[in-house]
Amino acid sequence: MTKHEIRSEKDVIARLANKTEFERAVLVATFGIPKGRVSTYKKIAEKIGRPRAYRAVGNALHKNPLAPVVPCHRVVKSDGGFGGERRGAESRRSLLEKEGIPTENGRVTISEDIVV
């Protein structure tokens, strides 16, 4: 199965057999973020039942083998900033802007309209 053949959560899970249960949960939750929307590391942590594990969510996303099918670029810090290295952050910001996500001063403009 190639990245292009991944169409459902079941497909994502099948491709992540070598990941930990936590990493699979993070990547499946991230797979569900639709184009034009974002989530935060904290919201993903809450969604998978580990509300204090937001830093671990970032680590799991850093190892995402299914990008961009699992759209880790749609996960940002609670203040709208981008975690990780500067070059990668600029790339994720650019991808989000192409998807219509509003940014200002290098941060996503967080609003209830776009955060899931």
Taking only the tens place, the pLDDT of each residue in 31-47 is 999 999 999 999 999 99
Cα angle 110, 113, 116; round to 5 = 80
Pairing between β-strand 39-40 and β-strand 75-76 as defined by DSSP bridges: parallel
- Asked whether 80 and 97 are in contact (CB, 8 A), the reply is no
From 72, 75, 76, 114, active-site residue: 72
Give the confidence band of 88 by pLDDT, cuts at 50, 70, 90. confident
Please tell me the distance from the alpha carbon of residue 68 to that of residue 50, in angstroms, as a whole number.
24
Give the confidence band of 1 by pLDDT, cuts at 50, 70, 90. low
Residue 79 lies in a domain: yes
Tell me, what CATH number does 64's domain have? 1.10.10.10
What global pTM score does this model have?
0.91
Residue 33's domain comprises: 3-108
Residue 74 exposed, middle or buried by CB count within 10 Å (0-12, 13-18, 19+): buried
Q: Which tens digit of pLDDT belongs to each residue from 45-74? A: 999 999 999 999 999 999 999 999 999 999
Residue 103 lies in a domain: yes
Residue 113 lies in a domain: no
Residue type, 1: M
Residue 74 lies in a domain: yes
Instruction: Tell me whether residue 89 is one of the annotated catalytic residues.
Output: no
How many domains are contained in the chain? 1
